[in-house]
Amino acid sequence: MAKIPAEWLERAISDGHINYLEYNKFINPTEIGSGGFGKVFKYEWKDYELIVALKCLKFDTDLNLNEKIINDFINELKLLRRVDYHQNIIRFYGVTKDNNGNYNMVLQYANEGNLREYLKENFSRLQWADKLSLAKEIALGLLCLHDNNIIHRDLHSKNILINQGQPKIADFGLSKQMNEKSITSSMECQHI
């Protein structure tokens, strides 16, 4: 069972559904965070002089945990590539395999970190208009998710990143694609 998701990823790359990027294009790594999948590094994409974030899918010795981590990672890839055109959702450039053989998601780098840290540092400087604008833009990102029948399920201030003052919804590992059937059954539950 544990092999199926990894095979899905390899097939999605070979069929051209997910962009594969050569790891040697990325230089000067600096660690910027860590989460459920593993560490997050900031890199320079040397050809384009673009700063990106690489989110590593690390493997654990516990095979059951591995299966869950790979599933969440692939779930995040599948959903992100459908909605990353929106200005309030983090951009997804593709995947790469590092020198340890681990897959990494290549993401837009948010230069002001996550919303929790951003508010700690900037709260007194921000005007009401700035705070309202942040709230509105987060709602617009969420609207795009909901229009695509995606429920984030883990939305909090560390999963909203800030790039040049603009919020970007990130971390879709626990998100869910709702289909017609699940929408109907959840609506039925609300009526009980």
Ligand X SMILES: Nc1ncnc2c1ncn2[C@@H]1O[C@H](COP(=O)(O)OP(=O)(O)OP(=O)(O)O)[C@@H](O)[C@H]1O
Long-range contacts of 28-35 (CB under 8 A, 24+ apart): 29/54, 32/113, 33/113, 33/114, 35/171
Is 97 annotated for ligand binding?
no
In the list 6, 13, 21, 32, the residue contacting ligand X (rule: CB under 6 A) is: 32
| Shortest Å distance, C-beta 89 to ligand X | 11
- Alpha-carbon distance of 26 to 116, in angstroms, equals 28
- Alpha-carbon distance of 68 to 62, in angstroms, equals 10
Report how far apart, in Å, the C-alpha atoms of 23 and of each of 13, 29, 32, 49, 128 are.
14, 12, 18, 15, 43
- Catalytically active residues are 154
In the list 9, 12, 40, 144, the residue contacting ligand X (rule: CB under 6 A) is: 40
| Shortest Å distance, C-beta 188 to ligand X | 30
| Shortest Å distance, C-beta 35 to ligand X | 2
- Alpha-carbon distance of 182 to 87, in angstroms, equals 28
How big is the site for ligand X, counted in residues (CB under 6 A)?
Answer: 23
| Terminal C-alpha separation, the chain | 36
Residue span 50-89 as binding mask against ligand X, x where in contact by CB under 6 A, dash where not:
---x-x----------------------------------
DSSP state of 26: E
Q: Which is nearer to ligand X, 9 or 92 (CB)?
A: 92
89 CB-contact burial (10 Å; exposed 0-12 / middle 13-18 / buried 19+): buried
Interface of this chain with ligand X, residues 148 to 187, rule: CB under 6 A? 154, 158-159, 161, 170-171, 173
- Piece in contact with ligand X (CB under 6 A), picked from 17-25, 80-88, 105-113, 182-190: 105-113
Binding site residues, ligand X, CB under 6 A: 32-37, 40, 53, 55, 90, 107-110, 113-114, 154, 158-159, 161, 170-171, 173
Which parts are annotated binding residues for ATP?
55
